[in-house]
A and B are shown apart, each in its own frame.
Chain A
Amino acid sequence: MHIPDGFLDTKTALATAALSAVSLAAGLRSLEQTLPRRKIPLMGLVAAFVFAAQMVNFPVAGGTSGHLMGGVLTAVLLGPSAGMVVLAAVLIVQCFLFADGGVLALGANILNMGIAGTVGGYAVYRGMARVLRGERGRYVAMALGAWCSSVFASVLCAGELAWSGTVSWDAAFPAMANIHMLIGIGEAVITVLATAFIAASRPDLLARGRSEDAGNELGRRVTFGAVIVIALVLFVSPFASDWPDGLESVAAALGFDRVAVVPPPVPSPMAGYAIPGIGSPAAATVVAGAVGAIVIFAVGFILARIVVPARQSPSGEDATDGTER
């Protein structure tokens, strides 16, 4: 999913760079205030860990294999700001040392994987963990968050490609989203199993990671939330016909709707924009997304039953109390 140079036009590159610079600055400032000095080497080592963990192959089918992205795993272990900075560092090194992902596309890649993927997926995890409760519920939420991180990143990526006129939304969105709904299942399984492994052998690492990202909550949340909403308004809402009206009116108020009516340089039917309905590939993909979310819940419940032994009751409040603090 690393976008190379030459895929994004200048306006998209600049917009994504600005958005990711703002949230990276917010995340770094929050860390500088809250991160103890002794944790600074840990950030670098965890970045190297993400890099190495991405090289561990998981057999999928027919000789193909997948690997971890690691955004939600890092955010669960270190907190969202640290997760975002770690993913950004990994992307910067991959860009400059491997030429994996372009320099001008670096902002877009950090926005997709480091911010929408990591912070967005982590937000889903936290929200769901609050609803589902219990040790098992936490793992179900983690599976959903990890799956969402993969899907969020791919949808933004499709939006950026479409906004640049490289590939039309109707081609990019189904292709990217459908593939990453499958990849996301792998991401969810690895995230849950790896976290369960760490919880079993060093539970203190999990508990510590969760307690140390409390500072500067509101300001950071507002910044991250605003960045993700702006990214959605810019890159996704111009194309999605069945998007809620609220965002469209925001887009209209800010003048972004003009972007949507300018026909892309690539001639395309834009069926999903004119006629909402199951007939368009984009709408079919949204339906597939709903099905995928149900599947990932089932996967999450099965995994949670495997990794949390039965003696801790599924709604065991005391188990939650032990780990949430």
Chain B
Amino acid sequence: MRHDYLDRYSRLDSPLHRLPAGMKLAIALALVLGTVAVPFHVTAFFVAAGAFLVICVLLSGIPLRFVVTRLLMLEPFVAGVALLAFLQPGGGLVAARVLVKSNLCLATMVLLSNTTPFASLLDVLRMLRVPALLITVLSLLYRYVFVLVDQAERMARARRSRTFSTRRSSLWRTGAGIVGQLFITATERAERIYAAMTARGWQ
């Protein structure tokens, strides 16, 4: 997994990418809030929001196909709850409301995360006086999640290539072993990182 896999389009150069992060965050939040709060029968608002998002995607240079795949990946839970709502008496409108509103919000967030590097979002949070400890945890999480996901994948691959039984109990035991080993190496890595951070003058 590459370091910039998750928000891989966030470092493109486009008018949208050049806007300040705080502004984009505010616009995205306002759009999400509007989408949630505006009653569903005000169709004009939802059409306008959809059109605005499509224009933004075109402006940003992010492939439309990427946005659509991301939305489809996130769809299962949305579809499940929409189905639950649909099955109730008179639930058709509720299901449609849930589908439209959720997808607009999802598209907004996909667009935000792919036009704004996570570090800039954290800078905005820091300006908003979010506690420093949480910011530190978030930036370390963002920095090392790729390393640990990579490691988990390597361990799972190693396990698969050495496992010749399909007994579920042994698969669960080795799976839990991967989780346990992952925690141990994360702890050891944290100790090395602390030493490295201190050596470089971290407070």
Do residues A267 and B133 form an inter-chain contact, with CB atoms below 8 A?
A: no
Q: Is B109 an interface residue (CB 8 A)?
A: yes
Do residues A38 and B194 form an inter-chain contact, with CB atoms below 8 A?
A: yes
Neighbouring A residues of B63 by C-beta, 8 Å: none
**Minimal beta-carbon separation of B36 from chain A (angstroms):** 6
Complex CA gap A70/B175 in Å reads 14
Do residues B145 and A40 form an inter-chain contact, with CB atoms below 8 A?
A: no
Complex CA gap A144/B171 in Å reads 22
Neighbouring B residues of A205 by C-beta, 8 Å: 183-184, 187
Q: Is A168 an interface residue (CB 8 A)?
A: yes
Q: Is A159 an interface residue (CB 8 A)?
A: no
Q: Is A120 an interface residue (CB 8 A)?
A: no
Contact A32-B136, Cβ < 8 Å, known A5-B101, A6-B104, A175-B84 = no
Complex CA gap A190/B111 in Å reads 35
Q: Which of A28, A92, A93, A102 contacts B131 (CB 8 A)?
A: A28
Neighbouring B residues of A267 by C-beta, 8 Å: 88-90
- Per-residue interface assignment for chain A, residues 50 to 74, with 1 indicating a CB less than 8 Å from any chain B CB and 0 otherwise: 0111011111000000001000010
Q: Is B78 an interface residue (CB 8 A)?
A: yes
Complex CA gap A198/B32 in Å reads 42
Do residues A58 and B171 form an inter-chain contact, with CB atoms below 8 A?
A: yes
Do residues B183 and A46 form an inter-chain contact, with CB atoms below 8 A?
A: yes
Do residues A32 and B131 form an inter-chain contact, with CB atoms below 8 A?
A: yes
Do residues B112 and A46 form an inter-chain contact, with CB atoms below 8 A?
A: no
In the complex, chain B residues 129-170 whose Cβ is within 8 Å of any chain A Cβ: 131, 133-134, 136-145, 147-149, 151-153, 156, 168
Neighbouring A residues of B33 by C-beta, 8 Å: 10, 104
Give the dominant DSSP class at A's interface.
Answer: helix
How many chain A residues touch the partner (CB < 8 A)?
Answer: 78
Q: Is A167 an interface residue (CB 8 A)?
A: yes
Do residues A49 and B172 form an inter-chain contact, with CB atoms below 8 A?
A: no
Q: Which of B36, B77, B134 contacts A85 (CB 8 A)?
A: B134
Q: Is A96 an interface residue (CB 8 A)?
A: yes
| 18 extra interface residue pairs, beta carbon distance < 8 Å, beyond A171-B84, A201-B180 | A6-B101, A7-B102, A31-B133, A45-B193, A46-B183, A51-B145, A51-B148, A52-B145, A52-B149, A53-B179, A55-B152, A56-B175, A85-B137, A92-B138, A97-B6, A103-B109, A104-B32, A205-B187
- Mark B residues whose CB is within 8 Å of A: 6-7, 28-29, 32-33, 35-37, 70, 74, 77-78, 81, 84-85, 87-91, 94, 97-98, 100-106, 109-110, 112-113, 118, 121, 131, 133-134, 136-145, 147-149, 151-153, 156, 168, 171-173, 175-184, 186-187, 189-191, 193-194, 197, 203
Chain A to chain B: the 7 pairs with minimum beta-carbon distance, closest first: A44-B140, A197-B180, A6-B101, A193-B176, A5-B105, A6-B102, A99-B109
